[in-house]
Amino acid sequence: MVPALFAGVCALPPFWGALGYWGLLEGYPPVAVTAGTALWMLGFMLIRAAARQARNYYLQGGMHNPQNASHSLRHASVKRPIATMRDIPLLSDNSSALVWLFLTSLTRNPHIRLQGVALVATGAFLMVLFRSGVYGDEAQTFLLPLLLVWPSASLGLFILNMFGADGTAFRGLLQLPISGLRVLRTKHLSLIPLILVSMLLMFSVGMLIGGISLLEILLVSLTALPYFLTFLTLGTWTSIFMPFPMTGRGSRRAMGRTASRGYRTVGILLTMLVILVLSSSAGWVLDAWRRTAPVYGTVVWLAWTVGSGIAYFASLQNAGDMLQRRWPEVAAILARDTTE
């Protein structure tokens, strides 16, 4: 068992730093040198790939693909079908096209692509920290909400500022015969796969390193429903009233050089505040289920789930009407990043 565990540690990049320190402390210089070299090479490759993707994304509006630059239009159209023409069950053709459009835009964003590496690496570090005994018997109380905190922290700005990554492309929606309600609904549907993937990564790390059981994974999954329903409800309104661009030069020119920095800071602080409140509520429910009062925890979870669901669907229609009225203003704010 120990050799297999050691081999697994050697194969996972998040453990290479700890492996190098172990080699130094235990007097194994080759292990330390090998781990350090591997970390350096991995970091160099990731930074180089991220820089290339970020350059292509920002210079070409997220649509540039160097591999297809030399091909003719006819060849490219044959080899690469249009992503937005794929159907999604239970959705109309227009809604399916919008979901694929938003999802493609998000997955091409270099910040989203780096979230997978950040989730695994940071999640593994935090799992080891919590399982090391620093928090004593309360480790599991803090560990389970962490499975929700880190995915929401990675995607928080994209939820509370849903249109920030679209930039000037958001203005093109003005030319389409679609309602604000449909835009909000399809935007949320495009965020759901990213939320599920980020949670799946954290669940995998938690089970492999944190010693989290399948029952605890189920409890966290149940808590995630009202957690992200509340998050998406708040994000619907903040995206309409507090939009700022998250492409190119960011929000540096969205509302003036000085104001935009404070505006982005407010967005980050708001994300942290929302995560703090929601994770505290989720942590209480999870702790009640596990130890203190399962019945009372179930009642609170049901009330939270029903309340967040009603609030979400009730506010979605009003938010869609508000977006319809503020559409030109939101589009102008998002376009200032590239027009000034």
Predicted confidence at residue 250, as pLDDT, reads 42
Alpha-carbon distance 13 to 117, whole Å? 10
Predicted confidence at residue 55, as pLDDT, reads 63
Predicted confidence at residue 292, as pLDDT, reads 76
Cα–Cα distances in angstroms (integers) from residue 272 to residues 121, 149, 154, 278, in the given order? 20, 10, 11, 10
Predicted confidence at residue 255, as pLDDT, reads 41
Give the residue ranges of DSSP H helices in the chain.
2-11, 16-26, 29-59, 73-79, 93-107, 110-131, 139-160, 169-172, 180-208, 214-241, 257-290, 294-339
Predicted confidence at residue 140, as pLDDT, reads 64
Q: Residue 232: is it exposed, middle or buried by C-beta count within 10 angstroms (0-12/13-18/19+)?
A: buried
Domain ranges of the chain: 1-80, 92-339
CA proximity to 66, closest of 82, 78, 49, 83: 49
Predicted confidence at residue 38, as pLDDT, reads 76
Predicted confidence at residue 311, as pLDDT, reads 93
- Are the C-beta atoms of residues 120 and 201 closer than 8 Å to each other? yes
CA proximity to 97, closest of 190, 12, 22, 205: 190
Predicted confidence at residue 252, as pLDDT, reads 44
User: What is the residue type of 312?
Assistant: Y
Alpha-carbon distance 120 to 79, whole Å? 33
Q: Which residue has the tokens 């493609």?
A: 104
Predicted confidence at residue 169, as pLDDT, reads 66
136's enclosing H/E stretch is none
Please compute, for residue 87, the number of CA atoms within 13 A of its CA located in the half-sphere on the CB side: 5
Alpha-carbon distance 55 to 248, whole Å? 9
CB atoms within 10 A of CB 53: 17
Residues of the chain with pLDDT under 50: 1-2, 4, 61-66, 68-78, 248-260, 338-340
CA proximity to 185, closest of 304, 110, 270, 92: 92
Predicted confidence at residue 54, as pLDDT, reads 64
